[in-house]
Structure 1
């Protein structure tokens, strides 16, 4: 769920200057009359409250931290377990009442007993840590996002249940919020010395490394919108992510798996506990497994089923997921585990208890994904485009009656478009959309055709007064992209986005609207690139890193020349060959026979050269050696773009 930002990690880049469109900071506005009315309509349409979620979310509570602050290096706060303590009583007009209800349950933080010998730490991060008591120690499933939150979670477990060593770690899938805290629960040397297994699904390392390397800058920036980075929790601010609170700060780490699960039905006996695995790769993550804890009759459906409809294509960007396969995995889980599980728990949200409840949830969520898939494809095959598919698709009342099928994270709207993309791609077959003008040029023509900015703003005001924020945003977005300095349009567009954020049931839709409103009011200020830990970088294959460098290589700045370069990293016994063909850069993990240049250095210096763009002379002083044509090496380096420190989204 949380992306690994670009794998650079050796130091932070200096932030760029504030953009030209920067505005005087302006605070959030109250809910408009149209939003107040909309929230009342939503409240009247919600399922009857039966108390199950309140029961399940609170059941088994053992204890929580006395200090809500989890601190990192230099005392920096990386997490607060009480960040959403304000979510009490009826929903304010600035929060969708369904989302407010969801956060009442998601805000709980502490250690919970789930089944005999199985506990969860919830509310210490966006994800949950599950611990299973083995014969000698703790089997830890999904050690959260960061070292600091994972360490705090394990500290609570040991304080309440008795101190034990970690006897195994299981990564359910290849997203960082399910492995990044591993060094908070175990040290690699200790794991090696005690032969502690670290279990993961097949292709875990490749997928964990690759998802965001190529598109790291774009995905990281978009993730800031998805998770509302920098927006304080509050009734007019961030309201979690729909399946958890926010995303913890701190250090993301990784220890490579030692045991890979290849197929459904594989079993392991770990520290005396019989475990069975279901491979569900291609559902929520390209490498993912579920765990059945046989002695406890507990099914850990990591992120295949949670308290919300999930994302088929997450707004931050990722590989589009297979909705048909996702429904099939849920059906398989129902057949394999539904009849022999007394609890279903996940790596987000709270468990559900009782065999009938387990089977009912798996079946209902199966139907939810299958209906989403089948009806999107049906409409698609009738000629509907992505927006038409989304507009015409309504969740059946029988599915909407279950709170866990609601769109707190994914939505029918953007997921149906993702189904369309999975099969047909971005193009809707209308030639008008085959080669349209890009946003700024299109906006300039659009505004002129409507009679100028003043007239368009007047139309947008009228739309806003009627509560048609979708249309007002469309109009005002054209004005802003035609003239980013138009303060009136920026302010109105921010107001329009904000009201849509207030109305959103999806936590991440809310975050995106409110993030755009903030940027329009205050101007986007590029920040420093997030640093990553050395062991995370060490886990990324050099080939993938060099492939990502190739996406920043501008052959025009290399004047169309050809060249060959070897990169020798003695401590890793790696010798990579780089071929510059005149138009592209190819890297291979085999050396060039007669290179024009050979660069020899520890990999950390090579990464400093290629990612941080540190001066060649500085790295030579640190031990990097160059043989051959040094000027050519410098010219190659000059043709590699620096890493992006961010970009505009809500304005050009």
Structure 2
């Protein structure tokens, strides 16, 4: 999750920025509404409906098992007219038959994710589902509540807890447990506990080892790009509806509330660790590098409940997420699941996760664990087998098919991750971007490549004429690709934009993955209407900044350095942090900004300040000059050097173009 300032910008924090209100779209292009499905889309969706066991309603029974109650539409009001959370716009999913613009398999998943309320998992274990992207799990201790993963926003977390209190005794929350460092699992923490109670020792916060670092550090350096790409993955720019956003696959959508963060008071550091919390026994098991860099599973022996966090959900998850992130290790992920099966599969009576609905009964739990284990192992091993035979990532994605025994399993369907992009992830993990064909080692950049391609194909008019014929045949993948070339060669070509949008839209209507559907439909919207002019969501806040180390702060300054502006300049600046007693030397040389712990006697300047002051400057609550005047920053030496450095830093555009070219960067 990203920001143009040196603020937390991993998946965790970016979810908040993505949950901003959609403003007025660009007026540069005429507004075009979504279109109807083409005959080939109707046929494709009808054929899909014949291939899967829709008569199997077990998931719907499990999703309603233990239902206690809810509030109408799971409505969570916001500070203004727009609610933080509201399931009312998804009433269209109450129709039994899928809309003709939605893949019937995704429609089924979307219906399941639309179920909301408080559910009793077993005695003393409850879940609130359908009030945010993730679930909140509540365990009743002897005298207090143990809350596992307090959702994305403080408002939805507070509403979820209040729903629980409407039906259960009003015990105080004594413990919060974070399963991992993605924001939909910690961002609502201040909706269920007060930080003052944590500091006073009345409430504890527990997390896996490395939580604070990974909660903000995963891809922080690529933050601005990931935040923009996440708008495509989650469909945050799309209105809910049969021709718009339907589901993410992992949950309904992102809450639009306030993200918070309270640092853990204790961490789980051993691979397996047992603790008793207010009379409840927990067996924690670390699974780092699976779905998140820092993650843990847990088993509750008294209640025979196995919580698989986000490692086993009712869909295929991502080895690569299309918002962009480091590739995950399918082989390792599979091993973690199997280790949990061996350790707890013969004991657990209920399996829950922090998304989706529970699975009941030992036999069904073991079956689910085996199939999820084998799914990730299959993708990893078969992709490796094919790449070792010389096939490229595109070859593998096009030809690899799940075995029949898994293809019919709802929990192995690609609603969030997909087999196609996960297979490419394995290729990327082991071989990277290059397919070994020298023709692809140094190809022309996109705009130049597009112009030559269109020229070779006889010009834009000729390409459009052929593409319209292919569109009528239902060859949407090719049409989208061809029109992308025309748009990159000439972004003002309205006919190419419209036809490309039409092709992307039909692909979205056919997509089983909620993520792919959203990406296609956002792309179609922006081809037709331009990049929306919305206020950039600010992913930084006082809570999240606490998790950014001084070292990471300086790393991000280096990313923002504009090399052309820095050409030929040299400087060294000492930084003294009064609260932590940390010292760093920041050096500019050869258009690179580096830093190292310590102090340089002959530095050009020395900046002395507290981390709190630096955070206030980052949040634009003050500035360096204002902080100097207020006595909060002291600069010894050449004061102009700090201003000179700041003038060389780029500010990133959070709404850069995606489906059309932007101004090309100059050679540096």
Q: How high is the TM-score relative to the length of structure 1?
A: 0.95
Q: Is residue 580 of structure 1 aligned with residue 579 of structure 2?
A: no
Residue in structure 2 matched with residue 543 of structure 1 by the alignment:
551
Question: SS where residue 492 of structure 1 aligns?
Answer: helix
Task: Tell me how far apart the structure 2 counterparts of residues 160 and 639 of structure 1 sit (CA, whole Å).
Answer: 57
Residue in structure 1 matched with residue 637 of structure 2 by the alignment:
628
What does residue range 535-614 of structure 1 map to in structure 2 within 5 Å?
A: 535-607=543-615, 609=617
> How far 1:354 sits from its partner (Å)?
0.8
Residue in structure 1 matched with residue 473 of structure 2 by the alignment:
466
What does residue range 319-468 of structure 1 map to in structure 2 within 5 Å?
A: 319-468=326-475
Task: Tell me how far apart the structure 1 counterparts of residues 119 and 447 of structure 2 sit (CA, whole Å).
Answer: 52
> Which aligned runs of 4 or more in structure 1 are off by greater than 6 angstroms?
9-12, 17-21
Task: Tell me how far apart the structure 1 counterparts of residues 278 and 3 of structure 2 sit (CA, whole Å).
Answer: 35
Render the CA deviation track for 1:292-337: whole Å, top value 9, x for unaligned.
1111100000110101000001000111000011111111111111
Change (3 A) 1:9 1:432: closer
Task: Tell me how far apart the structure 2 counterparts of residues 336 and 82 of structure 1 sit (CA, whole Å).
Answer: 42
- Cα RMSD of the aligned pairs, angstroms, is 2.3
Q: Is residue 302 of structure 1 aligned with residue 301 of structure 2?
A: no
On the 8 A contact 2:26/2:529 being kept in 1, the answer is no
Residue in structure 2 matched with residue 28 of structure 1 by the alignment:
34
On the 8 A contact 2:76/2:156 being kept in 1, the answer is yes
Task: Tell me how far apart the structure 2 counterparts of residues 462 and 608 of structure 1 sit (CA, whole Å).
Answer: 58
Task: Tell me how far apart the structure 2 counterparts of residues 650 and 30 of structure 1 sit (CA, whole Å).
Answer: 22
> How far 1:143 sits from its partner (Å)?
0.7
Task: Tell me how far apart the structure 2 counterparts of residues 612 and 393 of structure 1 sit (CA, whole Å).
Answer: 50
Comparing 187-196 with 87-96, which one deviates more in the overlay?
187-196
Question: SS where residue 302 of structure 2 aligns?
Answer: helix
On the 8 A contact 2:73/2:88 being kept in 1, the answer is no
Gap regions ≥5 residues in structure 1: none
Task: Tell me how far apart the structure 1 counterparts of residues 182 and 623 of structure 2 sit (CA, whole Å).
Answer: 33
Residue in structure 2 matched with residue 203 of structure 1 by the alignment:
210
Change (3 A) 1:407 1:613: same
Change (3 A) 1:518 1:622: farther
Gap regions ≥5 residues in structure 2: 10-15, 662-668
Task: Tell me how far apart the structure 1 counterparts of residues 612 and 457 of structure 2 sit (CA, whole Å).
Answer: 55
Q: Is residue 44 of structure 1 aligned with residue 50 of structure 2?
A: yes
Comparing 226-235 with 617-626, which one deviates more in the overlay?
617-626
Choose the corresponding residue for 1:506, options 500, 508, 513: 513
Choose the corresponding residue for 2:236, options 198, 211, 229: 229
> How far 1:33 sits from its partner (Å)?
0.5
Choose the corresponding residue for 1:123, options 101, 121, 130: 130
Task: Tell me how far apart the structure 2 counterparts of residues 613 and 406 of structure 1 sit (CA, whole Å).
Answer: 46
Change (3 A) 1:499 1:262: same
Question: SS where residue 215 of structure 1 aligns?
Answer: helix
Change (3 A) 1:67 1:244: closer
Change (3 A) 1:478 1:651: same
On the 8 A contact 1:612/1:643 being kept in 2, the answer is no
Q: How high is the TM-score relative to the length of structure 2?
A: 0.93
On the 8 A contact 1:22/1:524 being kept in 2, the answer is no
On the 8 A contact 1:599/1:626 being kept in 2, the answer is yes
Choose the corresponding residue for 2:106, options 99, 103, 114: 99
On the 8 A contact 1:129/1:347 being kept in 2, the answer is yes
Comparing 426-435 with 72-81, which one deviates more in the overlay?
72-81
Number of aligned residues: 648
> How far 1:187 sits from its partner (Å)?
1.2
Task: Tell me how far apart the structure 2 counterparts of residues 25 and 575 of structure 1 sit (CA, whole Å).
Answer: 54
Choose the corresponding residue for 1:264, options 245, 251, 271: 271
Residue in structure 2 matched with residue 643 of structure 1 by the alignment:
652
Task: Tell me how far apart the structure 2 counterparts of residues 134 and 291 of structure 1 sit (CA, whole Å).
Answer: 16
> How far 1:588 sits from its partner (Å)?
3.4
Task: Tell me how far apart the structure 1 counterparts of residues 223 and 2 of structure 2 sit (CA, whole Å).
Answer: 7
On the 8 A contact 1:21/1:485 being kept in 2, the answer is no
> How far 1:642 sits from its partner (Å)?
1.4
Q: Is residue 171 of structure 1 aligned with residue 173 of structure 2?
A: no
Change (3 A) 1:318 1:147: same
What does residue range 524-535 of structure 1 map to in structure 2 within 5 Å?
A: 524-526=531-533, 527-535=535-543
Residue in structure 1 matched with residue 66 of structure 2 by the alignment:
60
Render the CA deviation track for 1:384-441: whole Å, top value 9, x for unaligned.
0000011110111110111111000000000000011111111111111111111111
Residue in structure 2 matched with residue 212 of structure 1 by the alignment:
219
On the 8 A contact 2:89/2:240 being kept in 1, the answer is yes
Question: SS where residue 50 of structure 2 aligns?
Answer: helix
> How far 1:19 sits from its partner (Å)?
10
Question: SS where residue 160 of structure 1 aligns?
Answer: coil
> How far 1:474 sits from its partner (Å)?
1.0
